[in-house]
Amino acid sequence: PRLREPNPDLGSPLPRQSLAADDCSSHCDLAHGCCAPDGSCRCDPGWEGLHCERCVRMPGCQHGTCHQPWQCICHLGWAGKFCDKDEHICTTQTPCQNGGQCVYDGGGEYHCVCPPGFHGRDCERKAGPCEQAGSPCQNG
């Protein structure tokens, strides 16, 4: 015997399986998933959520979202393939050391203008006597 539940609209019982299937199709996003026999919503690859309503972002996406699976659309102020580059790095952080001047290049990239005696991506290296003289060291 099948379990039955009363249907208040019809006044007659309906099979429980039919209720589950009807319930699933009313809330599951059938464009991105399907109804399983147990009444749950099974998502297609690239979709997630109780009702398959959210796309899955590209793995590694940090400050972004998606409209379709595997995208990484950057939130305002972020750039790069993984939305991991701060577009305001020169104003919100201090990447340049030792008095270096940060210059934003766009796309989340920057460079430092180092003061005399310092070099490196972030002016983190102090120039030695050979570098300051402009000639390479000859004995080690």
Residue 51's nearest CA partner among 87, 24, 78 is 24
Tell me the residue range of the domain where 124 lies. 88-133
H or E element at residue 109:
strand 109-113
| CATH number for 124 | 2.10.25.10
CA angle 121, 106, 119 (to 5 degrees): 15
User: Is residue 34, in this structure, part of any structural domain at all?
Assistant: yes
How many independent structural domains does the chain possess? 3
User: Whole-prediction pTM value?
Assistant: 0.62
Torsional sign, CA 7, 13, 16, 21: negative
User: Is residue 138, in this structure, part of any structural domain at all?
Assistant: no
Yes or no: say if 112 and 121 are a contact pair by the CB < 8 Å rule. Answer: yes
Neighbours of 24 (CB within 10 A): 21
The DSSP annotation for 62-80 comes to -SEE-SSTT--EEPTTEET
Same domain, 79 and 114: no
Yes or no: say if 78 and 108 are a contact pair by the CB < 8 Å rule. Answer: yes
pLDDT in tens, the chain (140 residues): 434 444 444 444 433 344 444 678 888 999 999 999 998 999 999 999 999 999 999 999 999 999 999 999 999 999 999 999 999 999 999 999 999 999 999 988 999 999 999 999 999 999 876 655 555 555 55
